[in-house]
Amino acid sequence: MLPSPSAGGLPVIDLEGEPRDVDLLLDRACCELGFFYVIGHGVDPQVIAALAGLARVFFAQPLERKLRIAMARGGRAWRGYFPVGGELTSGRPDRKEGLYFGTELTREDPRVQAGLPLHGPNLFPELPGWPQRVPEYMQAVTALGQRLLCGIAAGLGLPRDYFLSRYTNDPTVLFRIFNYPPGSSTDQMGVGEHTDYGLLTLLWQDETGGLELWHRDRWLSVPPIPGSFVCNVGDMLERLTAGRYVSALHRARNDSQHDRISMPLFLDPSFDAVLEPIVHCSIPAGATSSDVQRARARWDGLDLTTLKGTYGDYLVGKVSQVFPQLRGQHLDR
């Protein structure tokens, strides 16, 4: 059984356990909460610590130095730095600053030459170590995400390579490093309530805490567990599973007296993927009426079953709302 949220937390899934048990736990966690921790994941803690250390050094710099790699300089690749208040969630400025990265592509890549949004080279901070540490971290965590998708596929009764063969052979990988200054309030969250866009999010968070999940009419704390990643279902995995899995509403605040670092990696379908629901998926037979309502009436009023076009179309539409000041110049297709 999964731990009851009311009794103290999300499920903690040890990937070193019996594979069949892991697959079943993944399926249940994605159904019931859309959030879970993973341990035994094999990502080198030194890789994590090295990048988190670089992040603290970067964010401690004066604003004018950080703005040398402002997102406006990243063009259509949508990479670089944004200051506190520079990103919107549900139309309201967040109380966080951040760095946007993605799969590194040269300017000679055909997708970059064609002007495809969200494709291109990264803008790295002008400090030693960044060009090595970011790809190292992204590669390790992306591999973990692919491993989890194999287990999720098996838990759904599908071939283990179901997602890899159809959607993530050439995934859209978006990586963010956020710094939340201390002192969030109910008037200005670190990041407002939202769901993620793609298949699976894998988050490393420091010891500060502040992440919260909406579940059955209340907010649940998602505190840091040393050595773990927090993983959650995104909109496209909810769509593929016809509402069996929930792309759960979440938010973050920083009520502490020091900065909070979080590093989410979004493992998303390929940019040109067209996503159709998996035929045999349905909301579990034992789901409560509130679970069914949750799956059919999202927080933002969006009906995922009506989506048309490619994942890239959906993604560009979403991120255009996050940075409206850059939309017309860099993201119009």
Choice between 326 and 81, residue whose per-residue pLDDT is larger: 81
pLDDT in tens, 279-297: 777 666 555 544 444 444 5
pLDDT value for 186: 56
According to the model, what pLDDT value does residue 295 have?
A: 45
pLDDT confidence of residue 320: 80
Which has more confidence, 82 or 283? 82
Any idea which residue has 């670190």 for tokens?
190
Average pLDDT over residues 98-113: 94
pLDDT digits (tens, 9 = 90+) for 145-204: 999 999 999 999 999 999 999 999 999 999 999 999 997 555 668 888 999 999 999 999
* Mean pLDDT (whole number) for 304-321: 84
Lowest mean pLDDT, pick from 19-23, 127-131, 145-149, 275-279: 275-279
The full DSSP string for 200-232 is: EEEEEE-TT--EEEEETTEEEE----TT-EEEE
For residue 83, the model assigns a pLDDT of 95
pTM, full prediction:
0.91
The DSSP secondary structure of 19-83, one letter per residue, reads: HHHHHHHHHHHHHHTSEEEEES----HHHHHHHHHHHHHHHTS-HHHHGGGBGGGGGGG--EEE-
Confidence of residue 323 (pLDDT cuts 50, 70, 90): confident
259: pLDDT strictly greater than 50: yes
> Does 300 have pLDDT greater than 80?
no
In Å, what is the CA distance from 86 to each residue of 99, 149, 181, 205, 208?
11, 32, 14, 21, 22
The reported pLDDT for the residue numbered 282 is 64
Residue 6's pLDDT is 35
Percent over 70 (pLDDT), the chain? 87
The residue-averaged pLDDT of 202-230 equals 95
| Average pLDDT across the chain, whole number | 88
CB neighbour class for 160 (10 Å; exposed up to 12, middle 13-18, buried from 19): middle
The predicted pLDDT at position 173 comes to 97
Average pLDDT, integer, range 111-135: 95
Query: 77, 94, 73, 74: which is closest to 85 by C-alpha?
Result: 94
Q: What is the pLDDT of residues 85-100, one digit of tens each?
A: 888 887 788 899 999 9
Q: Which of 18-27, 132-141, 241-250 has the lowest mean pLDDT?
A: 241-250
Q: What value does the mean pLDDT take over residues 102-121?
A: 93
What token pair was written down for 31?
A: 């159904």
Quote the pLDDT of residue 333.
47
- Least confident stretch, 64-68, 190-194, 209-213: 190-194
Domains of the chain (ranges; CATH) run 8-321 (2.60.120.330)
